[in-house]
Amino acid sequence: MHLDTLGWDERRDAEFEPHRADGLEPGRVSLEHNHVYRVITTRGEGLAEAAGRIKHLAGGRRELPAVGDWVAVKRNPAGDRDVIQAILPRRTFFSRRAAGRETEEQVIAANVDTVLIVFGLDTHVKPRALERYVTLARRAGAQPVIVLNKSDLAEDPAADVADALTVAGNAPVHALSALDPGLLAKLAPYLTPGRTLALLGPSGVGKSSLVNRLVGGEVLTTAAVREWDARGRHTSVHRQMLVSPTGGLIIDTPGMRELQLWDSDDSLDATFADVLEFAPGCRFRDCRHESEPGCAVKAAVEASGLPAERYESYLKLRGERDSLDKQRDLRAQLDAKRKARAGSKALKAMQKDRDR
């Protein structure tokens, strides 16, 4: 396996130089399952685990290896699991708030160039759900592409495409079917040698079927569409990276039942550019477009110049972001207090030892 096929370049080679001096070798994470990894190196694909200092000193899930990461690996001569000693800087990465109550960031995939946001046309497109995925892709620094799969099952594909275009911005929109003979021609421009393509979307939209077509084989398990409601079922159970015959990389992800943004920063504004284009007309520069007098955004909604659904969705996602920011600040304060107490206890213990 040549590393160039996996996206290795001169910049990566320079970043790896200190690790090479330590006798480590480069590899790319192709699968993660319960903190056991498959890593592709020049020797092929093998199992690996993170070094203890990575697992125990990491400040959360974000600092653990993720599918798509470039890593520095210590080879195990005994043939058992190699050890991941370091993670090279991520150029892009998808993350969300981890499911559950913990205020923690979860990296979904790393070093992705293009993301296919896949939704199924066996039901009508939900623009509000698409907005979340488009914001996630832009925040990652990757090129978003909307793929409306199962066009053969759509009642009104033109209307679904029109709905998707209202939230796509500059992202391309493709309506197609995994069974379409022209599928490869439509998606080939996004899957070129050394570049990484990720598929994101809800469960049952046909991501695994698309991956199988792109790699030219039944490498992922797929489930038949249920006859009673024409819906697919969730089949992928973990994230994994595959090498396509054209040399591009494909990362398949399980459908996400819960997609909460972690930190949308400017990407939220980019997704809702049509909402914020009215903001310069607001009376106050710091207008939040809620109850302030002289708000041009609200005026546009009232004058039917801006769809109310887009405006309300913007406020909802911004509210989630602001709420998460507060929770993160609170967690940071609590962590700082814990560290301070631990440091105080350690200092007192040292003083007792000196007094003895």
Q: How far apart are the first and last CA of the chain?
A: 61
Per-residue pLDDT at 282 exceeds 50: yes
Per-residue pLDDT band at 58 (split at 50, 70, 90) = low
The CATH superfamily label for domain 3-89 reads: Nucleic acid-binding proteins (2.40.50.140)
Instruction: Write out pLDDT tens, residues 12-32.
Output: 999 999 999 999 999 999 998
Band (328; pLDDT cuts 50, 70, 90)? low
Q: Is 35's pLDDT higher than 80? A: yes
Asked if 3-89 and 272-356 have one fold, the answer is: no
Find, among 67, 76, 6, 72, the residue nearest to 38 by Cα.
67
CATH architecture entry for 272-356: Orthogonal Bundle (1.10)
Which CATH superfamily, name and number, covers 94-252? Answer: P-loop containing nucleotide triphosphate hydrolases (3.40.50.300)
- Count of CB atoms within 10 A of residue 187's CB? 19
pLDDT in tens, 156-215: 989 999 999 988 888 999 999 988 888 888 998 999 999 999 998 888 898 888 999 888
Considering only CA atoms, which of 58, 34, 36, 15 is closest in space to residue 26?
15
Domain chopping of the chain, boundaries: 3-89, 94-252, 272-356
Average of per-residue pLDDT across 272-281: 89
Q: What is the pLDDT of residue 261?
A: 53
Please tell me the pTM assigned to this model. Answer: 0.70
Q: Which tokens sit at 252?
A: 């398949």
Q: Regarding predicted confidence, which is higher, 232 or 94?
A: 94
